[in-house]
Structure 1
Amino acid sequence: MKKNTYNTDGLSAEDRALNTFAELMIEKIRNLQEDWKKPWFSPQVAQLPKNLNGRNYNGMNSIVLMLMQEKNGWQTSRYATFDRIVSLNFTKDKDGNKAAVDENGNKLPRVGINKGEKSTPVMLTTFTCVHKETKEHIKYDDYKQLTQDERNNYNVYPKLQVYNVFNLDQTNLKEARPEMYQKFKDEAVGQSLRTTEGMVDFPALDAMIEKDLYVCPIKPIHGDNAYYSISKDEIVIPEKAQFIDGESFYSNLLHEMSHASGSENRLNRLVSGSTFGSESYAKEELVAELTAALVSSQYGMEKHVKSDSAAYLKSWLDSLKEDPNFIKTSLMDVKRSSSFISQRLDAVAQRLERDGWEADFSDIREKNKAFTPVFGNKAERPTVSNQENQSTQEQTKPQVQHEEVAARSTEQPRFHR
């Protein structure tokens, strides 16, 4: 099949990265068209991508790097820039850089990028915080610790930067540092929730359902449909026993949880009046599918394309072909949605680990029902200067942070499954 290509003459680093993202998604969706029962990410991509310091890449970059790992058959989920790879050849002390040596003082073999390997672009947004009067600069982490009144004294300037990274399988690390490589390879097996019976236990998600710990009620009932109702602000899903296995139950539920994250009083992603089959509906389906696939992969589960979502494969493919920027807005939504869900799951998981099933979850329940864009923080989104460009404005658009009555006088469409 002919590879989709774009004219890259005169394009910025960001635009070239978006073209790469679009081409990867086009290839993935074409493969799913041939067999839509394949998972979004294979078991090989069991763990979310990390840098050498162990920090996870964000949702948008995670998807791109996972697709690259799957496509190339890389055995590790770790990535690094060229400079970071080179830095493995040196150690730092009070006298400056010195060649890396083993425990016996022997110089270690040099680590480098294998000949002919090409990097993968990732995008990172950094923030410059400047006091409106004194022009003093502070770190963004310090800015987030300020009260809302204090934040109002600062202008925040977002800047999107593109970095090029390599998977460790694109280096000679396996030969030069075999123990380090094996450690990362073993790590890439990931955390699997499968059991010998083919079911999975997901305590954090089970607790969310039973103890009403998500931002809206989750109601497992004996039935045929899974959907998020905008008008009732609730998720309805068939009982776990009705699914082929627990993995299918949880991944389908994560799909609906993504829809719920996009309500008007949360991430404000759902388009009012959107009808089944429309362009906006199709895009929301893609966001929910990728969000569920990403969060599922984080916990070692596979996410298959929902049978009714398979009908949107051609629509997604056409949108990607017509406008590579489509992938940017979609993946930014996936980034927010997956973070929205993961942060809440992690909070419940930590409480379960600390206090067990009978733990007091009242504070978690209260925070979720009152809603803040980032769990545990108020007014997380910065006040952004008017000097930023339009694309950045879209990324940092303020969201409504007050609770809203879910039931409305006019019935709105539901995201049926």
Structure 2
Amino acid sequence: MSNPLDDLILDLIARIEAGVPPWRQAWKASADPRMPLRSNGEAFSGSNAWLLAFAGAMRGYRSPYWFTFRQALAIGAPVGKGEKASPAILYKTRVVGEPSERSEVGAADDSGDPRVLRYLKTYSVFNAEQLTDCPRAFLDIVDPDPAARIAARNAVLDAIPARVEFGGGTACYVPALDLIRLPHPHAFDTRDDFLATKAHEQLHWSGAAHRLDRTFGKRFGDEAYAFEELVAEIGAAALGLRIGLAPQLLDSHAAYLGHWAKILRHRPTALLEASGHAQRAVDYLLAFSAQGAVTDLAD
């Protein structure tokens, strides 16, 4: 049975095998990442947030607004001829095993109780810049004040109560000590490099047994560590969307690229599984700051 995201996953695998995680490459030559917005101004969340941010950045769109074909028609701005859609994810649930469905094979478990099946569908969306005669309100995007953006980045990351030890030349989370080790900020090329690295390690910190208890040994075996790195990579990118922080690549993470491609080839659903764990980690970390306390990130 094919996955609705097969084409996207194959594209991601190709980019990973080329040597650069696509959620990092996307912002190399573009502005700060922006949280993708629906046509009504509500923010996308979960996997859709980083998937659409990645698609928009790769194609050079500045507008964060995305529309379905019908939503574009509703504002009198039809999709331009030949424009390529981007996939968004819609999760559906279905209860099987109710009396009317008991005849279906596998409709209920051995207890006879109904089961809830969760499955995904994809739908097509287009950026505001792909529409014809799109209203300027969706195109004239005002860049945030740099000083305010920096203050927001620091406030969110500093509110996370992880114990951090500075010094040395390695960035890592040490589970046995429940401790993050980071080089001194001045050892990084830029302040954003330091903050992105800090965010990545804070994602690992969130997975401790007494926090989110994120372990993958039974399901992924020798690739469990690589999968945890994938979760942290996606999570740091998703957290960066919230605070305008473009993700950075550390040389020490390059060894995981081949593992990620292998995992996605053998288990395509791993991408969405990693995204789900990453989103839960981002929610957990944002809850420590005022921004996290007042913002709902749930799908």
Q: TM-score range by the shorter chain?
A: 0.7 to 0.9
The aligned length equals: 276
| Counterpart check, 1:290 vs 2:234 | yes
Q: Which amino acid aligns with 1:173?
A: D
Q: Which residue of 2 aligns with 1:249?
A: 194
Q: Which residue of 2 aligns with 1:95?
A: none
Cα pair 1:39 1:302 within 8 Å, conserved: no
Q: Which residue of 1 aligns with 2:277?
A: 333
| Counterpart check, 1:67 vs 2:18 | no
- After superposition, give the CA deviation of every residue in 1:93-114 in whole Å (9 maximum; x if it has no partner): xxxxxxxxxxxxxxxxx32111
Structure 1 residue 253: Cα displacement: 0.9
Distance 1:71 1:56, change over 3 A: same
The answer for unaligned runs of 5 or more in structure 1 is 1-9, 89-109, 130-154, 351-373, 381-394, 396-417
Q: Which residue of 2 aligns with 1:266?
A: 211
| Counterpart check, 1:222 vs 2:135 | no
2:45 to 36, 58, 69: 58
1:171 to 128, 131, 140: 131
Distance 2:267 2:77 in 1: 39
| Counterpart check, 1:21 vs 2:8 | yes
Structure 1 residue 49: Cα displacement: 0.8
2:87 to 121, 125, 130: 121
Distance 1:193 1:247, change over 3 A: farther
Which residues in structure 2 correspond to 1:202-213 (within 5 Å)?
202-205=153-156, 207-208=158-159, 213=160
Structure 1 residue 191: Cα displacement: 6.3
Distance 1:28 1:349, change over 3 A: farther
> Which of the pair is proportionally richer in helix?
2
Distance 1:339 1:40, change over 3 A: farther
Q: Which residue of 2 aligns with 1:306?
A: 250
Q: Which residue of 2 aligns with 1:41?
A: 27
> Percent identical across equivalent pairs?
23
Cα pair 1:40 1:304 within 8 Å, conserved: no
Distance 1:75 1:206, change over 3 A: closer
Structure 1 residue 349: Cα displacement: 8.9
Q: Which amino acid aligns with 2:56?
A: Q
Distance 1:218 1:173, change over 3 A: farther
Which residues in structure 2 correspond to 1:62-211 (within 5 Å)?
62-88=49-75, 110-125=76-91, 160-174=120-134, 177=135, 179-183=136-140, 186-187=141-142, 189=143, 192=146, 201=151, 202-205=153-156, 207-208=158-159
Distance 1:248 1:335, change over 3 A: same
Q: Which amino acid aligns with 2:163?
A: I
Q: Which amino acid aligns with 1:230?
A: P
Cα pair 2:26 2:57 within 8 Å, conserved: no
Q: Which residue of 2 aligns with 1:386?
A: none
| Counterpart check, 1:235 vs 2:180 | yes
Q: Which residue of 2 aligns with 1:362?
A: none
- After superposition, give the CA deviation of every residue in 1:111-162 in whole Å (9 maximum; x if it has no partner): 2111222322222336799xxxxxxxxxxxxxxxxxxxxxxxxx98756453
- After superposition, give the CA deviation of every residue in 1:58-94 in whole Å (9 maximum; x if it has no partner): 1311221122113322231211212222221xxxxxx
Q: Which amino acid aligns with 2:10?
A: E
- State the structure with more CA Rg: 1
Distance 1:75 1:286, change over 3 A: same
- SS of 1:298's partner is helix
Q: Which residue of 2 aligns with 1:353?
A: none
Cα pair 2:90 2:123 within 8 Å, conserved: yes
Distance 1:299 1:61 in 2: 17
Cα pair 1:205 1:345 within 8 Å, conserved: yes
- SS of 1:225's partner is coil
Q: Which amino acid aligns with 2:139?
A: Q
Distance 1:323 1:128, change over 3 A: closer
Structure 1 residue 309: Cα displacement: 0.7
- SS of 1:308's partner is helix
Cα pair 1:112 1:171 within 8 Å, conserved: yes
Distance 1:335 1:264 in 2: 17
Distance 1:348 1:297 in 2: 13
